[in-house]
Amino acid sequence: MVGSAIARRLDREDCEILKVPRAEVDLRRQAEVEDWLAANKPDAVVLCAATVGGILANQTRPAEFIYDNTVIETNIIHSAYRVGVQKLLFMGSACIYPRDAEQPMAEEALLTGPLEPTNQWYAIAKIAGIKMCQAYRQQYGCDFISAQPNNLYGPYDNFDLASSHVIPALMVKAHQAKLGKSNGLEIWGTGTPKREFLHVDDLADAAVHLLKIYSDEIQINIGTGEEVTIAELARLIADTVGFEGDVRFDKSKPDGAPRKLLDVRRMKGLDWEAEIALADGLAETYRWYLENVAEV
Ligand code: GFB
């Protein structure tokens, strides 16, 4: 989802985009990454490849999340240094901040307290990536930067209920409930956690902006600055899909972090703000789902 959005956004820039399919280069294999970067010598690298998933996937597949992500970023960052990549943008995640960080969470909150247990494995890997960019900048003078988006959604999201994030999951469930294929809309947890959602096209625009103008150590937050409860989100999605029936809460499922609102003042100071309103982004994502994924 993130890679394709960044490629769509880069189509509007004066640059040549180099892509390689997963079947040709497995980013977990150091030699394959080194060989590809040495043969292609890109000027810039956007490191957004990762093993990602929603709260349940993070909780039940901790080894995959910590192994895949640390090894992917280690291979790419080190090889990018070796072949002389001029700019690298590493994509982190809002879950790098402590569970009880003061809200909204400023960049300075990094490593000031314990992490949210459900996604600590992913968060540790992402923190390692940020620290690698800082270390390679300090020791070798590499212009490697990092950014932390909040919960993303949009076209090419993962709509598989076992591994997806909340927006695609509730979209599928509301759609199936509307068609009478299930008994109402089931929401995991209590519905009280608050989340900030960022459309992936806004993230792509922010990424290109940072590639052009930002060159420093500190990781930059990318969000909208606005949050909703999961219960409010479920209502919005039900309205988007046109489902009018019952909503119920499965409290045996985890809530995760109570709040995860990013402080986006630094990004605003760099003359960038998110533009896509949640209701509009949900409507567009639902259209994409109907055209590309849904069984009618
Ligand atoms: O999107 P989500 O899986 O990720 O869940 P996190 C957000 C909230 O939605 C949680 C609730 O409180 C879930 O319990 N939720 C309600 C649901 N119904 C559902 C459902 O059907 N499916 C899902 N998936 N959630 C992830 C991290 O945390 O955020 C990752 O695990 C990553 O590491 C990502 O950082 C951005 O916001 O809880």
pLDDT, one tens digit per residue, over 29-74 is: 999 999 999 999 999 999 999 999 999 999 999 999 999 999 999 9
Q: What is the predicted pLDDT for the residue at 296? A: 59
144 bridge partner residues: 88
pLDDT for 281 equals: 98
Owner of token pair 């509009």: 280
187 lines ligand 1 (CB under 6 A): yes
Cα 10 to averaged position of ligand 1 atoms, centre (Å)? 29
pTM equals 0.97
Active site residue 122: yes
Q: Is the pLDDT of residue 295 over 90?
A: no
Residue 167 CA to ligand 1 center (angstroms) comes to 8
Mean pLDDT of 168-175: 98
> Omega into 149 within 30° of 0, i.e. cis?
no
Percent of the chain clearing pLDDT 70 (strictly above): 100
| 206-223 average pLDDT score | 98
Choosing from 81, 97, 122, 153, the catalytic residue is: 122
CA distances from 129 to 46, 48, 89, 198, 260 (A): 13, 11, 10, 21, 20
Tokens of 24: 């040709």
Pairing of strands 87-91, 185-188: unpaired
CB 105 within 8 A of CB 97: yes
Q: What is the pLDDT of residue 223?
A: 98
